Every structure is written in structure tokens, then in C-alpha cells.
Amino acid sequence: MKVYLDYNIWQEMLNNEETQKFFILKKEQGWRYYLSVAHLDELCHAYQNETPQYTGFAEKLKLLMFEHSESGLFIPDDNGIVYHSSDNERNQRMDIIGNYYSSQGIVSNLAKGRFKNFKDDGVENISGIEGVNADELYTKIWEHPRIAAKIESYNNCTSKFEKVTKDQAYRFMADELVDFYKPLVKIDEVAYKYIIAMTEKIRPNMFPNIRNDFYKIESVIEYLFFVLTSCGYKMDTKERTFISSYYDTKHSILSVECDIFITKDKKLKEKFKAIAYYLGIPIKIQLWNNGQLII
């Protein structure tokens, strides 16, 4: 059983002996834990922002994560989310992330801007749909008029990207991509692949058709998270948690080749569960709450 633990689960395992015992026991019973580049990104952020009060915390967390996870890493690849089974892969990626960039400042600024826009727009929370049981809401939320309208609007724009050239793609996306990727990739090629991904219309049960294209996986899942949040479904109402939701999205995207995704974040669990259902991603989303797993 391939299991993807959200970063906050690893943190609790380090701080809570009973939590650590639970997940180690599950490992002995056959669970296998997998890391991704999103875990390494958050680890590097922990190292870079360590305060005297928490000196050594990041190193202890890294040792815990590396000891109890499979030796390797889920990474974005042209052919989808690919697992590289090598300790060297983890160490090399850790060095690259630590030495060349930290996305925290960029992510923080982008998220703060979106959070302000949502607050200024006065987005009302979607608490439910009339006649729909709360336990079934994740299957019906896509029928909500606000959400359905945003997806329809997106699909009506996809044809516009079919005529975009590589040079135009670079000018359209260069600033954001340079901030995130420099100096790891050729920005013009990545920009064009993202533009091509935006020609894909969003529809139910589409995951099998985009599974082997990371750019489409990321574009679709990221947009659906944005749709749910911007429409007020399980929206984070505090700036700090709204910013952390950027990392939540990356973890969700990089977990799609696993069997189970576990998080402490109830809003993330509900949003990702709805997205996985809509797209047909064969993964179970579970919540860890007060020493219990909740489906």
C-alpha cells in the first residue's frame, strides 16, 4: 500500500510519540511511505527559517522522514508524476532546492495577493447544497452554479491557447516560471508545455487521459483547487493558512500515484477528496484527527 503523508503528519510524528508509534505500526503491517519534491521544499524552508528556539528541529524531521519512507522521490516529469527509487535522488534534489532557490517568498507573495482578492470580492462560503447530505457533498459540489460556471468559463477559453507560439508562451509566463524554476530548466520550453496543457478541457473522470502528462495534471488540479477556494468551498479564512494551501496543492498533485493521502488539514481533505472524485483519481483521502484516521 503506497501512502503519502502530508508534511504536517511528519511534523506531528516528530512531536507526538503516540502518533509516531501508530504510523510505524502501520508500516510494519504493510504500508509504505513516499516522499516528493514538495516535502523537500518544505524541509528546506524549515532549515532556512529555523530559530534559536527550534535549533535542530529540521534535521531531526529530515532524519525521521528519510528513515521511515521509501528510498526515493516522486518528482514532476514530462510523462507524469514519476517515482525515482534512489537515495541519491533525494540528496541531490535537497541540495538543488537548498542551494538554488526557496519558493517560500514567491509563494507567500502570490498567495497574499489572491487572499486579498478573495476578501475584497466578499466571497461567501458554500456551506452545502439543498437536498444533499453532508457526507455526499464532495460528489455534488461540482453542480453548484458558481463552481459549474467557472469550469464552463475555463473550457470556453481553451481554444485560445491552441494558436499560442513558443515565444508568446515565454512572454506570457516567463516571470513566474523564472522565479520558480531558475536555473533548473529551459524556461521557454516549460512555458510552452504549460500553454499546451491549458488547451485541455476540464471534464469528469479525465485523469486516466492526462495521467502521463505532468503539465496537464498540474494545470487541471491546481485550477480546480482555485475554483473551489475562490467559490467559497472550504476556503481558508486566515492569511497564514491560505498561504500554506499553496503547498497543500503541490502535495496533492504529487501524491496521485499513491493509494492513500493522509493530512491533518480538514479543509484540504474535503477539497482534495472532491477533486479526486471528479477527475477519477484512484486515491483515498483520509484525515488524521486526535489519534484517529477518518475517511
Q: Closest Cα to residue 90, out of 44, 35, 14, 42? A: 35
Give ∠ CA 277-264-8 in degrees, rounded to 5: 115
pLDDT value of position 107: 44
pLDDT value of position 54: 79
Cα–Cα dist 94/58, whole Å: 13
Query: What are the angstrom distances between the C-alpha of 95 and each of 22, 86, 215?
Result: 31, 15, 24
Check if the beta carbon of residue 128 is closer than 8 Å to that of residue 137: yes
Check if the beta carbon of residue 72 is closer than 8 Å to that of residue 83: yes
Check if the beta carbon of residue 285 is closer than 8 Å to that of residue 272: yes
Torsional sign, CA 66, 67, 68, 69:
positive
Structure-block grid coordinates of residue 60: 531531526
pLDDT value of position 41: 85
The helix (H) or strand (E) run that includes residue 4 is strand 2-5
DSSP at 184 = S
All residue ranges of the chain with pLDDT < 70 are 87, 95-124, 127-128, 166-188, 236-244
Would you state the torsion angle of the CA atoms of residues 44, 266, 269, 62, taken in this order, to the nearest 10 degrees?
A: 20
pLDDT value of position 204: 97
pLDDT value of position 116: 47
The helix (H) or strand (E) run that includes residue 229 is helix 214-230
CB atoms within 10 A of CB 52: 5
Check if the beta carbon of residue 209 is closer than 8 Å to that of residue 284: no
Domain range list for the chain: 2-163+202-294
Cα–Cα dist 261/283, whole Å: 7
**β-strand pairing of 2-5 with 260-263:** parallel
pLDDT value of position 47: 85
pLDDT value of position 294: 92
